[in-house]
């Protein structure tokens, strides 16, 4: 009897530590019992929650912080790219409106070239190397590390182009955002500004090089045209001299010194039935040259032979020369060209983007609660098993 009494006392003491109930009949879950178990183990749950929050905050303070700089870009205005347009008012190769466009600057087309260069890895690496960003961003000796590997780790992977706004038009132009992550908030904003300016300048120089190539080709064509016009004029000059010499010889043989009336011949006759008159239409266009007389022909011949330059008599030459003169003087200052418009300059938020403290604390708190609940039910299960074994014995 004494042994049974001791066993009963032990069972009562175990139930006072934590209330454990055997599973109800037919394995039904009693919500009230679960709530009682959680309430009895509330200190364990609360302790697990607080411990998780403390660990999360500690990790958030220890982990290195990453900040984000962003810059919003728009297409250039027409005035930003207007100096790139090369147009010539000339009869040589002119279009329907009389203008020749070697290059017509369209803001959206220029903007597309800028965006293409903004994505070029080669240009990023050039900017990275020229500005020694390995030392600036890493802040340690990087001579023994592969520079391209550093470029990938601390620059190329950290800079991104967000064109999710594509399709939402702003003055018929797409808005893009350039984002750069780093550990030095002020410095990464400066680097981002410098990078956008670098791509802007490179794009302007690239377009100018392309246009200059077109201008050089046009200059060459114009020079060849001028040469061809002068050579043709020289041949025509010689032909005219030969014609005049022949005309002088014939006029002298015929004794025609002055223009004769026979120089005008009737080409058509129109008889009017009412007054029986005949109308003559006179034409001197196809009259033989010697009818002008030897005196006039000799004077023209002497003048032609003494002429040193035929430029004044070449039709269209002055227009071509004017266009060539314009293109030889044409130039554009790259500093006056902007292939992008800064809508919002690069700036860094005050709060780091990594680690995300609020998210870490919230998830840690949830995990802490779940772990605490698990611990309570585990302890309750083992104690229930212990009590049952004690009762059986």
81 and 209 in a single domain? The answer is: yes
Residue 380 inside a domain? The answer is yes
Show the domain range for 260: 231-270+278-319
Residue 164 inside a domain? The answer is yes
241 and 174 in a single domain? The answer is: no
46 and 84 in a single domain? The answer is: no
**Residue 273: pLDDT band with limits 50, 70, 90:** very low
Q: String of b and e for 59-91 (b: at least 16 CB within 10 Å)? A: ebeeeeeebbbbbbbbbbeeebbebbebebebe
246 and 108 in a single domain? The answer is: no
Residue 56 sits at the vertex; the CA angle it makes with 54 and 57, to the nearest 5 degrees, is: 65
96 and 212 in a single domain? The answer is: yes
**Residue 271: pLDDT band with limits 50, 70, 90:** very low
296 and 159 in a single domain? The answer is: no
Q: What's the burial of 98, exposed, middle or buried (CB within 10 Å: 0-12/13-18/19+)?
A: exposed
Residue 51 inside a domain? The answer is yes
213 and 341 in a single domain? The answer is: yes
20 vs 181: CA distance, rounded Å: 54
Residue 48 inside a domain? The answer is yes
Average pLDDT, the chain: 80
Residue 306 has pLDDT above 80, yes or no: yes
The 10s digit of each residue's pLDDT in 55-87 is 888 887 777 788 889 999 999 999 999 999 888
- What is the model's pLDDT at position 4? 55
- Which range in 134-138, 140-144, 280-284, 308-312 is most confidently predicted, on average pLDDT? 308-312
Contact 368, 57 (CB under 8 A): no
- What is the model's pLDDT at position 268? 45
Share of the chain above pLDDT 70, in %: 78
Residue 41 has pLDDT above 90, yes or no: no
Residue 24 inside a domain? The answer is no
Residue 285 inside a domain? The answer is yes
Q: What is the mean pLDDT of residues 237-242?
A: 94
124 vs 146: CA distance, rounded Å: 16
Residue 3 has pLDDT above 70, yes or no: no
Q: What is the mean pLDDT of residues 257-271?
A: 57
Segment among 161-170, 194-203, 238-247 with least mean pLDDT: 161-170
Segment among 35-49, 83-97, 132-146, 185-199 with least mean pLDDT: 83-97
71 and 59 in a single domain? The answer is: no
Residue 256 has pLDDT above 60, yes or no: yes
C-alpha distances (whole Å) from 106 to each of 76, 320, 336 are: 9, 27, 16
Residue 42 inside a domain? The answer is yes
Residue 47 inside a domain? The answer is yes
- What is the model's pLDDT at position 21? 45
- What is the model's pLDDT at position 351? 78
Residue 303 has pLDDT above 50, yes or no: yes
212 and 73 in a single domain? The answer is: yes
The 10s digit of each residue's pLDDT in 223-232 is 999 999 999 9
169 and 97 in a single domain? The answer is: yes
Q: How many domains does the chain have?
A: 3
pTM, rounded to two decimals: 0.68
92 and 160 in a single domain? The answer is: yes
- What is the model's pLDDT at position 142? 56
Share of the chain above pLDDT 90, in %: 35
Q: Give me the CATH number covering residue 141.
A: 3.30.1890.10
- What is the model's pLDDT at position 8? 53
Q: What is the mean pLDDT of residues 96-110?
A: 79
215 and 117 in a single domain? The answer is: yes
Q: What is the mean pLDDT of residues 254-283?
A: 56
Give residue for tokens 């009682």. 36
Residue 340 has pLDDT above 60, yes or no: yes
Q: What is the mean pLDDT of residues 276-284?
A: 47
- What is the model's pLDDT at position 234? 94
Of 261 and 102, the one with more pLDDT: 102
- Give the chain as a 3 state SS string: CHHHHHHHHHHHHHHHHCCCCCCCHHHCCCHHHHHHHHHHCHHHHHHHHHHHHHHHHHHHHHCCCEEEEEEEEECCCHHHHHHHCEEEECCCCCCCCCEEEEECCCHHHHHHHHHHHHCCHHHHHHHHHHCCHHHHHHCCCCCCCCHHHHHHHHHHCCEEEECCCCCCCCCCCCCEEEEEEECCHHHHHHHHHHHHHHHHHHHHHHHHHHHHHHHHHHHHHHHHHHHHHHHHHHHHHHHHHHHHHHHHHHHHHHCCCCCCHHHCEEEEEEEECCCCEEEEEEECCCCCHHHHCHHHHHHHHHHHHHCCCCHHHCCCHHHHHHHHHHHHHCCCCHHHCCCCEEEEEEEECCCCCECCHHHHHHHHHHHHHHHHHHHHHHHHHHHHHHHHHHHHC
**Residue 346: pLDDT band with limits 50, 70, 90:** confident
């Amino acid at each position: 009897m004494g042994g049974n009494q001791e066993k009963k006392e032990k069972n009562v003491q175990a139930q006072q530590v934590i209330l454990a109930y055997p599973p109800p009949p037919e394995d039904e879950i009693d919500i009230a019992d679960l709530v009682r178990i959680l309430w009895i183990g509330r200190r364990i749950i609360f302790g697990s929650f607080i411990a998780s929050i403390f660990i999360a905050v500690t990790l958030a303070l220890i982990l290195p912080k990453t900040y984000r700089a962003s810059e919003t870009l728009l297409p250039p205005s027409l005035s930003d790219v207007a100096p790139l347009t090369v147009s010539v008012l000339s009869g040589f190769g002119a279009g329907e409106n009389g203008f020749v466009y070697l290059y017509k600057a369209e803001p959206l087309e220029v903007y597309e070239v800028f965006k293409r260069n903004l994505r070029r890895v080669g240009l990023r690496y050039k900017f990275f190397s020229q500005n020694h960003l390995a030392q600036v961003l890493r802040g340690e000796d990087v001579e023994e590390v592969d520079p391209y590997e550093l470029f990938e780790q601390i620059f190329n992977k950290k800079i991104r182009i967000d064109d999710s706004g594509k399709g939402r038009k702003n003055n018929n132009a797409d808005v893009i955002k350039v984002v750069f992550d780093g550990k030095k908030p002020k410095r990464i904003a400066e680097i981002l500004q410098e990078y956008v300016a670098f791509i802007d300048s490179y794009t302007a120089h690239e377009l100018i090089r392309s246009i200059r190539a077109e201008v050089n080709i046009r200059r060459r064509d114009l020079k060849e045209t001028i040469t061809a016009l002068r050579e043709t004029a020289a041949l025509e000059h010689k032909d005219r001299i030969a014609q005049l010499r022949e005309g002088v010889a014939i006029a002298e043989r015929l004794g025609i010194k002055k223009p004769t009336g026979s120089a005008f011949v009737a080409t058509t006759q129109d008889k009017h039935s009412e007054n029986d008159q005949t109308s003559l239409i006179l034409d001197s266009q196809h009259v033989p040259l010697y009818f002008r007389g030897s005196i006039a022909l000799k004077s023209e011949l002497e003048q032609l032979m003494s002429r040193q330059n035929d430029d004044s008599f070449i039709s269209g030459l002055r227009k071509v020369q004017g266009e060539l003169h314009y293109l030889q003087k044409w130039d554009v200052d790259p500093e006056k060209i902007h292939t992008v418009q800064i809508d919002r300059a690069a700036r860094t938020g005050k709060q780091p983007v990594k680690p995300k403290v609020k998210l870490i604390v919230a998830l840690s708190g949830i995990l802490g609660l779940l772990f605490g609940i698990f611990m309570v039910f585990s302890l309750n299960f083992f104690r229930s098993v212990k009590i049952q074994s004690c009762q059986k014995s």
